[in-house]
Amino acid sequence: MLSCRVCGTRNWERVLSLGYTPLANNYVRMNDLKKEEIYYPLTTVFCAQCGLVSLDVVIPAPVLYDFYYYLSSESKTILAHNEWLARYLTTRFGLGPADLVVEIGSNTGTQLRCFKTLGCRTLGVEPAENIATLANEHEVETLNRYFTTATAADIVTQHGRSRCIVARHVFAHIDDLGDVLRAVNRLLADDGVFVIEIPYLVDLVDRNEFDTIYHEHLSYFTIGTLQRLMERYDLRILDVEHVEVHGGTIIVLVERARGQEAERVRSMIEEESAKGANKLEYFRAFAARTEQIKLDLVSMILDLKRRGQRLAGYGAPAKGNTLLNYCGIDSAYLDYVRDNTPTKQGLYLPGTHLRIRSDEYARAHPPDCYLLLAWNYATEILEKEKEFIDAGGRFIVPIPAPVFVGG
């Protein structure tokens, strides 16, 4: 068993096992359907020493990220969030044309573009070659590299230090956090801010978002655990914003350690303790609720099938693959899943081999009920599918607990 990437001990307690699943972003091409897929254990463990929740296996980063299917979301919800974040950071930290904003795991550059529009210099760092190429084609300057101390040193030489380093939904994917935080220390200007946007472990547990667990997400953090990690690298949390995107996200503002810990951060950490979010029992209760969701969801779906209804999945997000594989929901139950990402259409889901269809196909072959796998966009999607619902169509929203909407 690994040692904890925050505190270095091996005081692990097993929390939740979701069985064996293939990698959630390994969509399958038609010609590869007969090839065997590799299944890896998907088990979370809790560090009794520092409160980190982690997977108990680490898939090597090049296997996951050298080629990557996931393109930055272009959904209305996320584009509005990208704009808000750029405006918030440029205003709060007075970022202007002289300042360099670096984004780690910048994907196609949708976030950096917002900083560019507001007049900052920007540089993306993106390990997936196919995606870095797309970003550069769209004129968001992007290095095709992993963010390491060597990368940081090169950026300092070529562009100078950065007043704002952004890491959106990437920090949980990193195994060697020590190297990344040393790299941040090297690249960050003395008055700079390091911004980590990450799913909030407390939301994940309280809202039963077990499907957010997949092999790319190695770590699940409370603010208390993050603070402890930052202290080891002479950094500290200055402030935290709590927002709704992706089912509950924290935006953690980190600066070089100086002076006292912010009062607001301390009170958030106290709230976590009061809830028991640093105790094993909190996670054991979550595991029990997860098992109940599986039973409830499967029985709702069986009931619909018995009555001859047709079902399809809505959205083919990575987390949908955790949910489908863990619950054993495959082509016996769903006819297809629809997704509006052109690069995913025509491919098949890992494990369940459900075919990914376009919106046009789905409109021509509507099911009676959609299982909303992309539940983090429920508001946006239910609004968009008003016509389907008005015509008697239904959705099952599986998280935080399976319910029917519409019909």
CB 230 to Zn ion: min, Å: 14
Q: Which of 43, 49, 136, 144 binds Zn ion (CB under 5 A)?
A: 49
**52 makes contact with Zn ion (CB under 5 A):** yes
- For ligand TMP, the binding residues (CB under 6 A) are 73, 75, 315-317, 339-341, 344, 374, 376-377, 380-381, 384
Residues found in the chain = 407
State which H helix or E strand residue 119 sits in. Answer: none
Residue 381 interacts with, from Zn ion, ligand TMP, none (CB under 5-8 Å by kind): ligand TMP
Neighbours of 117 (CB within 10 A): 11
CB 227 to Zn ion: min, Å: 13
31-55 burial: b if 16+ Cβ within 10 Å, else e: eeeeeeeeeeebbbbbbbebbbbbb
Please say which residue, 291 or 359, places its beta carbon nearer to ligand TMP.
359
Please say which residue, 82 or 376, places its beta carbon nearer to ligand TMP.
376
State which H helix or E strand residue 312 sits in. Answer: strand 311-314
Q: What is the DSSP string of 31-67?
A: GGTTSPPPPEEEEEEEETTT--EEES----HHHHHSS
CB 228 to Zn ion: min, Å: 8
CB 55 to Zn ion: min, Å: 14
The residues with which 143 forms a beta bridge, in sequence order, are 125
Furthest-apart CA atoms within the chain: distance in Å: 66
State which H helix or E strand residue 198 sits in. Answer: strand 188-199
**47 makes contact with Zn ion (CB under 5 A):** yes
The Cα–Cα gap between 118 and 104 comes to: 19
Q: Which structure tokens are listed for 334?
A: 């769903």
CB 7 to Zn ion: min, Å: 3
Q: Which of 45, 50, 188, 356 binds Zn ion (CB under 5 A)?
A: 50
Q: Which structure tokens are listed for 89?
A: 């950071």
**7 makes contact with Zn ion (CB under 5 A):** yes
Please say which residue, 116 or 284, places its beta carbon nearer to Zn ion.
284
Please say which residue, 72 or 90, places its beta carbon nearer to ligand TMP.
72
Please say which residue, 24 or 166, places its beta carbon nearer to ligand TMP.
24
Q: Which span (1-9, 13-21, 93-101, 177-185) binds Zn ion, by CB under 5 A?
A: 1-9
- Give the residues lining the site for Zn ion (CB under 5 A): 4, 6-7, 47, 49-50, 52
